[in-house]
Amino acid sequence: MKKMTCHELGGACDAEFEGETFEEIAAKSKAHGMEMFKTGDGPHLDAMQKMKDLMQTPNAMENWYAEKKKIFESRPHLD
């Protein structure tokens, strides 16, 4: 598996997400973001707002996804 942190995925903390695929990690990161949103965590709310603003740009989502996936692919495989 591979690991990425909340920070690396545009979040606001050092929580780590593990997965065999980027999709798996992205899903975990999303669930974590929802959890932080529910608890009203300030830094995560700011990060989400920034993400929302960024997504106003055409193709921003695709670019973001491709960029993060590249980081994922450059990571060594962990047991």
Instruction: Please identify, using beta-carbon distances, which residue of 45 and 69 lies nearer to Zn ion.
Output: 45
**x/- string (CB under 5 A) for Zn ion, residues 43-62?**
--------------------
Candidate residues 8, 10, 15, 69; the one interacting with Zn ion per rule CB under 5 A: 15
Task: Return the number of other C-beta atoms located less than 10 Å from residue 17's C-beta.
Answer: 22
Find, among 65, 28, 29, the residue nearest to 48 by Cα.
29
Packed helices 22-39 and 42-54: angle between N→C axes, nearest 10 degrees: 120
CB of 17 to Zn ion, least distance (A): 9
Q: Which residue's CB comes closest to Zn ion?
A: 6
**Any idea which residue has 């690396």 for tokens?**
8
If binding is defined by CB under 5 A, does position 6 make contact with Zn ion? yes
